[in-house]
Amino acid sequence: MTATKTTPDPAVLSRRIKELAQERGAVILAHNYQRPEVQEAADFVGDSLELSRKAAVVEGRVIVFCGVLFMAETAAVLAPDKTVLLPDEGAGCPMSDMLTAEDLIDWKKQYPGRPVVLYVNTSAAAKAECDICCTSANADRVVNSLPEAEILFGPDKNLAAWIQRHTTKRIIPWDGYCHVHQGILPRDVRAARAKHPQAVVWAHPECRPEVLDLADRVLSTGGMVREAGTSAAAEVIVATECGMLYRLAKDHPEKKFFPAKETSLCPNMKKVTLPKIEIIRILKKEYPDPKPFLHFRTPLEILVATILSAQCTDKRVNMITPGLFQKYPDARAYAEVDPAELENEIRSTGFFRNKAKSIKGAARKILNDFSGEIPSTMEDLLTLPGVARKTANIVLSAAFHKAEGIAVDVHVGRVSQRLGLSAHKEPEKIERDLCRIVPRKHWGDFNFWGVSHGRAVCQARKPRCEACRLRALCPFPSA
């Protein structure tokens, strides 16, 4: 199979996402550093504080916050009556992680009596330990508003150094930084200037002091948006995360904006992607009416059928289970049957010795520890011999209508990897990735969608990409 990339049409995706949000009464807020298509899908685009304030006043009851974790936390604090969703729970902020609440408690002990000013890029737990919070736009004013002569400032040492230039107070910095801004070097700015000699340079105060020395203006992202509206400059080199350029160019098509460094991209901010959301929508439409592939009437029957389905087709399992279930109606019957007899009954499903051992072991455990009833939690199911997360997820979903995870079998794993929903090989890691993307109410359905698509279209050896409805969104369709 030859791997070629196709690019989904961002305009179509953005439109579809907007429709979905409207249908569900959700408001989408996106940070200035988000991907262009995410910015296009958003109702509001801005910096972290603007968006948090917006979260407090917008009408929707559900806020989809396309940013990183600390931003969604801040929005949730300012809008306690709303549900704030972060599309990718893995979208953290390394700078925020550099100063935890525990770090801050220890730091304060080293400098008793000094107030703590924290940059908004910190966790809610750390913020709870500070005296006052600031943004990059008002950091100097916040510091100067305090009566004390010495101030602890974290987590960004570069912003601390910038404030030090604007105050007579002594700033004691925490040694944190934003890896994206720290990665912009003076030589990058000089090279951009050489390439665009007419351009002025705007730099974000999270940049190194040596970079700020080369800038014509030092501005927060909100400040850049405002400056673009008033500045006479026709060409601007921008030293910050490159997502900002999309917003500036969109607002001011008459001006030219260039990155100080083209690779200044925050991987966490780019975790929010529209194709993943669209893939789930198409799977749902393509494979409606999800139902278990295995025939069963009781929790015990789906447990046994799932154990038998390992390395075997569902069709074959469904052929033998009616007779099997009639002969062994409860856990005691399986626990007491002679192993050789059970092996003989299930021989045609393959690996019959191991499967018989698992079924008998599970049945004994169910009798001894669960009064003969199939347990209905993930934790208890995993104590049964021969039951791993895939089986437990199928039992929980099919028999108890519970969503504690997503059952990842060979089809779901393959389809998820090809579609870029997970880069992992291990089922548990794939499940973890899927649970971040798939809405919880569809966790049970996703196994049906993945298996159906894997069997009908995205087959192991020869995927039928030419007939695949997901082709435009798939990172690895065959040529």
Bridge partners (DSSP) of residue 236 are: 200, 257
Q: Which residues contact 339 (CB under 8 A, 6 or more apart)?
A: 356, 357, 360
Nearest-approach distance from CB 37 to ligand SF4, in angstroms: 20
Query: Is the alpha carbon torsion for 449, 454, 455, 456 positive or negative?
Result: positive
Using CB under 6 A, which of 419, 430, 434, 451 touches ligand SF4?
419
- For helices 274-286 and 443-456, the axis angle rounded to 10 degrees is 70
Nearest-approach distance from CB 434 to ligand SF4, in angstroms: 15
Confirm or reject binding of residue 470 to ligand SF4 (CB under 6 A).
yes
Nearest-approach distance from CB 471 to ligand SF4, in angstroms: 4
Q: Is 167 left (phi over 0), alpha (psi -120 to 50) or beta?
A: beta
The CA–CA distances, whole Å, from 274 to 41, 103, 217, 262, 403 equal 9, 36, 34, 23, 24
Tokens of 50: 């603007």
The count of chain residues that interact with ligand SF4, using the rule CB under 6 A, is 14
Nearest-approach distance from CB 106 to ligand SF4, in angstroms: 50
Nearest-approach distance from CB 449 to ligand SF4, in angstroms: 11
Confirm or reject binding of residue 476 to ligand SF4 (CB under 6 A).
yes
Contact of 33 with 243, CB cutoff 8 Å: yes
For residue 356, the SS3 value is helix
Question: Residue type at 277?
Answer: I
Confirm or reject binding of residue 133 to ligand SF4 (CB under 6 A).
no
DSSP 156: B
Site string for ligand SF4, 367-406 (x = CB under 6 A): ----------------------------------------
> 196 phi and psi, to 5 degrees?
-125, 75
Task: Using the minimum distance from each CB to ligand SF4, give the nearer residue, 279 or 294.
Answer: 279
Confirm or reject binding of residue 412 to ligand SF4 (CB under 6 A).
no
Give me the active site residues, please.
Answer: 390, 409
Contact of 71 with 123, CB cutoff 8 Å: no
Tokens of 366: 């169910």
Task: Using the minimum distance from each CB to ligand SF4, give the nearer residue, 89 or 286.
Answer: 286
Burial (CB count within 10 angstroms: exposed 0-12, middle 13-18, buried 19+), residue 275: buried
Task: Using the minimum distance from each CB to ligand SF4, give the nearer residue, 390 or 418.
Answer: 418
Confirm or reject binding of residue 474 to ligand SF4 (CB under 6 A).
yes
Task: Using the minimum distance from each CB to ligand SF4, give the nearer residue, 100 or 478.
Answer: 478
Using CB under 6 A, which of 113, 457, 460, 462 touches ligand SF4?
457
Cα dihedral: 358, 359, 364, 369 (round 10): 80
DSSP H or E segment with residue 88: none
Task: Using the minimum distance from each CB to ligand SF4, give the nearer residue, 21 or 470.
Answer: 470
Confirm or reject binding of residue 471 to ligand SF4 (CB under 6 A).
yes
Q: Which residues contact 60 (CB under 8 A, 6 or more apart)?
A: 25, 26, 27, 82
Confirm or reject binding of residue 465 to ligand SF4 (CB under 6 A).
yes
Nearest-approach distance from CB 456 to ligand SF4, in angstroms: 9
Confirm or reject binding of residue 455 to ligand SF4 (CB under 6 A).
no
Task: Using the minimum distance from each CB to ligand SF4, give the nearer residue, 63 or 470.
Answer: 470
Confirm or reject binding of residue 280 to ligand SF4 (CB under 6 A).
no
Distance between CA atoms of residues 317 and 187, nearest Å: 66
Using CB under 6 A, which of 8, 60, 67, 463 touches ligand SF4?
463
Stretch that binds ligand SF4, among 63-71, 92-100, 171-179, 459-467 (CB under 6 A): 459-467
Site string for ligand SF4, 150-169 (x = CB under 6 A): --------------------
Using CB under 6 A, which of 206, 418, 421, 446 touches ligand SF4?
418
Task: Using the minimum distance from each CB to ligand SF4, give the nearer residue, 364 or 471.
Answer: 471
What DSSP line would sit under 164-231, residue for residue?
Answer: HTT-SSEEEE-SB--HHHHT--HHHHHHHHHH-TT-EEEE-TTS-HHHHTT-SEE--HHHHHHHHHH-
Nearest-approach distance from CB 163 to ligand SF4, in angstroms: 50
Nearest-approach distance from CB 418 to ligand SF4, in angstroms: 4
Confirm or reject binding of residue 211 to ligand SF4 (CB under 6 A).
no
Task: Using the minimum distance from each CB to ligand SF4, give the nearer residue, 7 or 371.
Answer: 7
Contact of 104 with 154, CB cutoff 8 Å: yes
Q: Which residues bind ligand SF4 (CB under 6 A)?
A: 418-419, 457-458, 463-465, 468, 470-471, 474, 476-478
